[in-house]
Chain A
Amino acid sequence: MTSKSPYPLVGQSTPLGPAHSDSVTHPPQRRGLVESPYGGEGTTELTAARDSSHVKGKMEQHTGAAEFNILLATDSYKVTHYKQYPPNTSKVYSYFECREKKTDPTKLRKVKYDKTVFYGLQYILQRYLKGQVVTPEKIQEAKEVYREHFQDDVFNEKGWNYILEKYNGHLPIEIKAVPEGSVIPRGNVLFTVESTDPECYWLTNWVETILVQSWYPITVATNSREQKKILAKYLMETSGSLEGLEYKLHDFGYRGVSSQETAGIGASAHLVNFKGTDTVAGIGVIKKYYGTKDPVPGFSVPAAEHSTITAWGKDHEKDAFEHIIKQFPSVPVSIVSDSYDIYNACEKIWGEDLRSLIEMRSADAPLVVRPDSGNPLDTVLKVLEILGRKFPLVENSKGYKVLPPYIRVIQGDGVDINTLQEIVEGMKEHRWSIENIAFGSGGALLQKLTRDLLNCSFKCSYVVTNGLGVNVFKDPVADPNKRSKKGRLSLHRTPSGDFVTLEEGKGDLEEYGEDLLHTVFRNGKIVKTYTFDDVRDNAKLKESELEDLLL
């Protein structure tokens, strides 16, 4: 436990003196390092049980998606940008890409992520940008917030009133994007944004902040798809088929993400590639913002957690196991078995005490043993080794060992794209088929990702000033990777099937064929939508990719 003096640092005017070392139970009146300039009030005690709702009600009335205000959903500095573009600017055109990074060849990353899955823009458009998003109340609210926030009147009230009046509060911008689910090599344009009204040139980059957040679903979907490739390769090599691939990586990430909304977005992005999830929120996002022909796009099975095992007491782990498998006799059931000793649980409880109960189960209702601690590869191999001694193994057509169909293993601790590769490789080396196992991934799947993994960026590439179009770009001397594209952009396929981004409006020429960017949003209306089935179809592993994997 950290040793801690109960005295705070005295205010800024006092020089650093020796800290007081005597300890008291209740620290005296605290003065902080920096005094907050804003007066404090006493803690509000809400003792009256249900009648306190008026207090909370007042604080609550602005919350919820219904009260979302696009005027307040941007980086503060963007509020000041309308004053900064060149005079007589009538159009700003920007684009989003996952930059190709010229990596240092000495620091080879295990996974290169050279293609990305485009996913998630439709959610942002549907939820935040379509329809009448500007109202007099929202303008007023923004005006008041920004006056306090900047301690100055910098807010472009006139500009927003123009949108309210001329477009009934619909955003005069056009967004063109590649189809959702498309798998596109890094360094290509994924979507473009431009103002459609010369008065509203400043609006293009106002929405940058919210649109750049599409880095997240793109990155989750891309990383999840790379894991699908690894699983496909090893499953094929060790079993001769891809059966069950869509259930090999289960989403365990709900508690490990940063918010409910993130859970919904991230989990839906994983479901682009897989069908197993415990993050219920993802299904809601898909149903509400994409739609599927299936009633639900993701499935789960009954499973234990530590509390439902440890609540029986340490001496009753066997009773807990027995109770739970009896509760779910005809469906798969996963049981976390490391509360005290995973190896003893496999050897003695599953392998001996409850063996006959497990043998009665079927391929449709296997017991799925879940380790949850230790080095993932070592633990998986040892668990398989124990179960392989206790239950009769068969050899499949490829010569790999398979546990009887009524027992399987799920590893859901410490799984990320690198450990996943290590575990399946280690299993293959030890002649275990990937049929024996499924994986769960939480933090690595939905949270341990940043915008830099795929270098997602949004840059202005074209403006019209004084009626004249200018191709613009940044090109910082200290980092050539940050150079941006120039001019109006289009995405095409070459005759050999490669993707290419044409800059400076060259795609207008007929010889390059059709632009793969389609208008999805114009002046407040969503003009093209994709169902989740479309997304999955676009993102599925291609035959050619499977062939490459199995080389």
Chain B
Amino acid sequence: MAAQDFNFLLATDSYKITHYKQYPPNVSKVYSYFECRHKKGGQFNEVVFFGLQYLLKKYLAGPVVTEEKIQEAKVFYQMHFKRSVFDEEGWRKVLEKYDGRLPIRIKAVPEGKIIPRGNVLFTVENTDPDFFWLTNYIETMLVQMWYPITVATISREFKKILAKHLKATSGSLEGLDLKLHDFGYRGVSSQESAALGGAAHLVNFCSTDTVAGVLMAQRYYACPMAGFSIPAAEHSTIISWGRSREKDAFECLLDQFPSGPVAVVSDSYDIFKACKHIWGDKLKERVMERSEDSALIIRPDSGDPAQTLIEVIKILEKCFGCSQNSVGYKVLPSYLRIIQGDGIDLNSINEILEKLSDEGWSAENVFFGCGSALLQKINRDTLNCAFKCSYVETNGKGMDVYKQPVTDPSKGSKRGRLCLRRNSDGFIETVESGAGKPQEDMLVTVFENGTILQEYTLDEIRKAAQLWEEDVSPSQHNKEDDTNLEIHQKHIMNGMH
């Protein structure tokens, strides 16, 4: 049931208050849909559907209209528009006829599903002809779905890159779901966004410092503990020892956390000297005492990410040595790892991993942390998320509707009632104009008249969103022969055959 203090009537764009007066007379149904529009040359071809269940549970389920909320909205909009435009009667009817529950049906793709861009992801329609104006009243709130969808999609793209390199340079995918740690809590725009974005990352990974995301997965997706973390230093805990005592600060960390992994930020003054003189010399014995389960993880945090990382790993190799793994790449001793958490995005992570493998280093040596590129540096245009009306019924007659601006053909919208199906060639496609067969429809009714009809657990979502074989192949399309050839060639280039 939605939170009591939240007034759903005040959670929409102002202009929507005036829309009930604008639809054609005798309109009895408005049907709209959400998609991530396909854009030519776009970076991402497929999206992870995630987050609707949160919105439904938090804001839409149960009785969301009360007389007090109607009065509050009425007074508010009177002042906001400086005149009365608010549809008090309409809302009172929701209260009287439906006990304040929304006469709306939402059909959606199951959460976690991977869907090619340009397909319908969910549809919204009013279930009672009196409330034709309600469908698009909730657009504003539902369009915020762009955020968890986009975070989950970007995070999964990170996972593809990591999987590809990890497989190629270690021969296995062990530890993949801990490779990208969420550092984004402070860099997002609010606590709620942190929770939503943090949870979306956890669809693909199990590694996070954004505690709010873990709580959201617990509360809305029935996952008791979706993400893990380890003790780690920050600059304040190092510099508070004073510049001349960085070694003491480092040693304290090793002492305090002897039995699990510990990450230590080491660039407060000079990352290279810290690696060479402190970790690699003064504290060398202490570092070597540690084990694979209690690794020291060194964290650089400034400079060009790729260059810094390469230089750090070379210094550590000199001090601690390294071994070769089964596919011929170098690995630092198992008690020693690196985490790069500064300047990481989809481009830089690929560049870093390429450079590492070019220099013969396995991706096993490194973890990554990502903050704003994961949770904040994205917007509704990243995946061209749009919500459009495609069908109305007026005077009892259905009509397919659409927009098609001459000034931008990519903003054209779909027409009619929509169905999402996998066609006989195995491709997912959207059938327009009500021509889809109900038994083929992948859209599931998740919400009807105030009640949530279908729930998903994070475990189910994770399974649905897991990587597929072709995701890890270097080639973007699934011609398996080319793929294997490319992997084969890459190994030869690295001198391993």
Contact = CB atoms under 8 A, between A and B. Distances in A.
The finding on whether chains A and B are genuine partners in a shared complex, rather than unrelated, reads: yes
A463 B308 CA distance: 30
Q: Which of A279, A339, A474 has the most CB of B within 10 A?
A: A474
B209 A77 contact: yes
B452 A4 contact: no
Contact of A280 (B10, B163, B424, B451): B10
Contact of B144 (A260, A309, A341, A470): A260
A498 interface: no
B24 A7 contact: no
Interface stretch (A80-88, A129-137, A400-408, A427-435): A80-88
Given A4-B478, A209-B186, A262 B426 contact: no
A210 to B, nearest CB: 7
A84 B249 contact: yes
B364 interface: no
A373 B219 CA distance: 40
A75 B471 contact: no
Contact of B380 (A34, A259, A443): A443
Contacts of B69: none
Q: Which of A73, A128, A459, A465 has the most CB of B within 10 A?
A: A73
B404 to A, nearest CB: 6
A373 B413 CA distance: 13
Interface stretch (A234-242, A447-455, A541-549): A447-455
Interface string B348-391: 00000000000000000000000010001101110000011100
A208 interface: yes
Contacts of B379: 256, 443, 447-448
Contacts of B392: 311
Interface string A1-36: 111111111101101111101011110001011101
Interface string A224-267: 00000000000000000000000000001011111111110110
A73 B213 CA distance: 10
B472 A338 contact: no
B441 interface: no
Nearest to B262: A80
B192 interface: yes
Given A302-B18, A311-B27, A6 B422 contact: yes
A489 to B, nearest CB: 15
B30 A259 contact: no
Interface string B303-335: 110001000000000000000000000000000
Contact of B1 (A18, A57, A84): A57
Interface in A302-341: 302-314, 316, 319-320, 323-324, 327-328, 331, 334, 338-341
B298 to A, nearest CB: 14
Contacts of A458: 186
Interface stretch (A111-119, A142-150, A349-357, A511-519): A142-150
A473 interface: yes
Contacts of A83: 231, 256-257
A535 to B, nearest CB: 19
B455 interface: yes
Contacts of A66: 5
B139 interface: yes
Contact of B191 (A84, A94, A128, A473): A128
Interface string A41-72: 10111110110110011011011111010001
B388 A306 contact: yes
B446 to A, nearest CB: 10
B288 interface: no
B418 interface: no
Interface stretch (B89-97, B236-244, B279-287): B236-244
B231 to A, nearest CB: 4
A277 B16 CA distance: 13
Q: Which of B22, B119, B403 has the most CB of A within 10 A?
A: B22
B469 A261 contact: no
A291 interface: no
Given A255-B380, A295-B79, A305 B214 contact: no
A460 B460 contact: no
| Interface class of chain A by DSSP | loop
B81 to A, nearest CB: 6
A474 B246 CA distance: 11
A180 interface: no
Given A56-B452, A57-B1, A374-B407, A84 B466 contact: no
| Interface class of chain B by DSSP | mixed
Nearest to A11: B173
Q: Which of A8, A74, A295, A319 has the most CB of B within 10 A?
A: A8
B211 A16 contact: no
A223 interface: no
Nearest to B422: A25
Nearest to A324: B22
A248 B474 CA distance: 49
A33 B177 CA distance: 10
Given A43-B454, A150-B230, A451-B186, A262 B427 contact: no
B291 interface: no
Interface string A172-201: 000000000000000000000000000000
A320 to B, nearest CB: 7
Contacts of B176: 12, 33-34
B268 A474 contact: yes
Given A19-B478, A19-B480, A305-B136, A313 B236 contact: no
Nearest to A294: B79
B161 interface: no
Contacts of A550: none
Contact of B11 (A16, A56, A216, A260): A260
A509 B451 CA distance: 65
Contacts of A360: none
Contacts of A463: 240
Interface in A463-491: 463, 465, 470, 472-479, 482, 484
Contacts of B273: 477
A307 B30 contact: yes
Contact of B224 (A43, A148, A266): A148
A447 B380 contact: yes
A388 interface: no
Contacts of B304: 478
B469 A76 contact: no
A343 interface: yes
Given A75-B210, A311-B27, A303 B380 contact: no
Contacts of B180: none
B404 A340 contact: yes
A393 interface: no
B211 A145 contact: yes
B407 A149 contact: no
A392 interface: no
A122 interface: no
A286 interface: no
Nearest to B430: A1
Given A72-B215, A265-B189, A281-B11, A5 B478 contact: yes
A280 B77 CA distance: 9
B49 to A, nearest CB: 15
A451 B235 CA distance: 18
A154 B5 contact: no
B80 A371 contact: no
B11 A30 contact: no
26 contacts: A1-B429, A3-B477, A4-B470, A12-B174, A17-B469, A25-B422, A36-B462, A57-B1, A76-B209, A78-B234, A84-B256, A148-B224, A208-B186, A213-B189, A256-B380, A260-B11, A260-B141, A260-B192, A280-B14, A305-B136, A306-B388, A372-B405, A373-B411, A451-B372, A459-B236, A474-B268
The list of the 6 closest CB pairs from A to B, nearest first, reads A23-B426, A478-B303, A32-B466, A374-B407, A300-B14, A460-B236
Given A259-B189, A310-B401, A470-B242, 17 more contacts: A5-B478, A8-B468, A9-B466, A32-B463, A38-B225, A56-B62, A73-B191, A254-B12, A258-B190, A261-B190, A279-B13, A303-B18, A307-B136, A342-B405, A450-B187, A460-B240, A478-B271
